[in-house]
Amino acid sequence: MLFQRIFEEKSFEEISRETGEARNRVENRYYYTVKKIRRWMG
């Protein structure tokens, strides 16, 4: 999902349709992952 959003430049709506998950869940997972990466990188 992170790859799709950043490298494939897909919208949350497109990712939602492809994965079958709710749009807000896709968006929340994306921001949660970005937050974890930022913490990990310091």
Task: Quote the tokens at residue 19.
Answer: 């994965």
Phi, psi of 8 (to 5 degrees): -90, -5
Give me the pLDDT at residue 3, please: 93
> For residue 1, is pLDDT > 90?
no
Q: How confident is the model at residue 15 (pLDDT cuts 50, 70, 90)?
A: very high
What is the dihedral sign for C-alpha 32, 38, 41, 42? negative
Q: State phi, psi for 21 to the nearest 5 degrees.
A: -95, 155
HSE value, Cβ hemisphere, 13 Å, CA-based, for 36: 7
Domain count, the chain: 1
Which percentage of the chain shows pLDDT scores above 90? 93
**pTM recorded for the entire structure:** 0.83
Amino acid found at 7 = F
